[in-house]
Amino acid sequence: MSKIMVTGCSGFIGTHLTKRLLESGFHVIGYDLNASLLRDRNFEFIKGDILDVEKLQESMGGCKSVFHLAAQTKVPASTENPLADFKTNAEGTFNVLSVAKEHGAKVVYASTSTVYGIAETPTKESHPLQPISFYGASKAAGDMYCFAFNSTFGLDTIVLRIFNAYGPGNAKGVMYDLFKKLERDPTYLEIIGTGLQEKDYIYIDDTVDALMIAYERGASGEAYNVGSGISTTVNEIAELIFDILDIHPKVTYTGKSWKGDVESSLADISKLKNLGWNPKVGIEDGIEKLYEWMQ
């Protein structure tokens, strides 16, 4: 039975990915600062920090591959404390790659669409990385280190630039935020920004499918976009939520978003589609499933 490490196993994507790996017959070493609720005879949880190289070193023993998902994921938090964001996302990724090199373990790195910054759309993987947030910059550093370890040491690395993943288990993000506001007051909704922010949202099951297919079929040293290939505005999301809740609230707007927010994104997903991957869950179904989980 192949042994695989998942850093950030207790996070939103990490939890779903770990379950899928266990269902697929892998022995999973989960590595995270936060305890995991998963219970399985083939799952071993290790409480650890990716900044602790010694702990990483002993925890990765015998692992053929590493899915590196551990990260600081909030743009506003990266603005408040850029150094902490840098240490977790850039230095932490460097540590994972360094230890993986010693163990000869393949690394699948969960990057983000924010590495592109304000980009031409649909955005191809060849687009320059021009992040406008500290979060985007620290994650882009991870991309670059993956490429450097691959070309210099021959370490097998694959980078997945995930757009806006959502779904059951994600207690943050625009959809969750709108549901929570309307739970408190179904007659009124304040939307951050103009409501015209238009982003590519990808459902969690499709995201995990992408991670698995890239792991199985992806080319070493390559990057792949993980998105739906469709952009949806915040206003459109709000309307879908109003339909689900059968309400007609008064809507106001703050007029501006947070610093570093990329207000428009759309992935070119043809490269990953060429590996046989296709997103299956549309935004309407995805939001319904998120709502069911929140209930």
* Residues 222 and 235 placed together within one structural domain of the fold: no
Print the domain residue range for 247: 167-199+230-265+281-294
* Residues 153 and 171 placed together within one structural domain of the fold: no
* Residues 140 and 259 placed together within one structural domain of the fold: no
Establish if 140 belongs to a structural domain.
yes
* Residues 61 and 86 placed together within one structural domain of the fold: yes
Tokens representing 124 are 């191809």
* Residues 194 and 142 placed together within one structural domain of the fold: no
**pLDDT for position 121:** 95
**pLDDT for position 261:** 87
- Of 135, 201, 203, 224, the active-site residue reads 135
* Residues 150 and 21 placed together within one structural domain of the fold: yes
Long-range contacts of 147-152 (CB under 8 A, 24+ apart): 147/221, 149/97, 149/101, 149/107, 150/220, 150/221, 151/221
| Number of structural domains in the chain | 2
List, for the chain, all residue ranges whose pLDDT scores fall below the cut of 70.
none
Strands 188-191, 65-68: pairing is unpaired
* Residues 126 and 253 placed together within one structural domain of the fold: no
Establish if 273 belongs to a structural domain.
no
Q: CB of 121 within 8 A of CB of 173? A: no
Establish if 274 belongs to a structural domain.
no
Partners of 110 in the beta sheet? 160
Summarised one tens digit per residue, pLDDT across range 1-36 is: 799 999 999 999 999 999 999 999 999 999 999 999
Rounded distance between C-alpha atoms, residue 164 and residue 177, angstroms: 14
Establish if 290 belongs to a structural domain.
yes
Q: What is the CATH number of the domain that holds 45?
A: 3.40.50.720
**pLDDT for position 24:** 97
Establish if 276 belongs to a structural domain.
no
* Residues 27 and 136 placed together within one structural domain of the fold: yes
CA dist 9 to 195, 237, 244, Å?
Answer: 33, 29, 31
* Residues 86 and 99 placed together within one structural domain of the fold: yes
* Residues 150 and 90 placed together within one structural domain of the fold: yes
Establish if 177 belongs to a structural domain.
yes
Q: What is the CATH number of the domain that holds 242?
A: 3.90.25.10
Q: b/e per residue, 146-158, with b = 16+ CB within 10 A?
A: beebbeeeebbbb
| SS3 state of residue 178 | helix
Establish if 104 belongs to a structural domain.
yes
**pLDDT for position 25:** 97
Summarised one tens digit per residue, pLDDT across range 152-177 is: 999 999 999 999 999 999 999 999 99
* Residues 89 and 179 placed together within one structural domain of the fold: no
* Residues 238 and 214 placed together within one structural domain of the fold: no
Establish if 191 belongs to a structural domain.
yes
pTM as predicted: 0.96
Indicate if 135 belongs to the active site. yes
How would you list the strands of the sheet with 27-32, edge to edge?
43-47, 27-32, 3-7, 65-68, 106-112, 157-162, 222-226
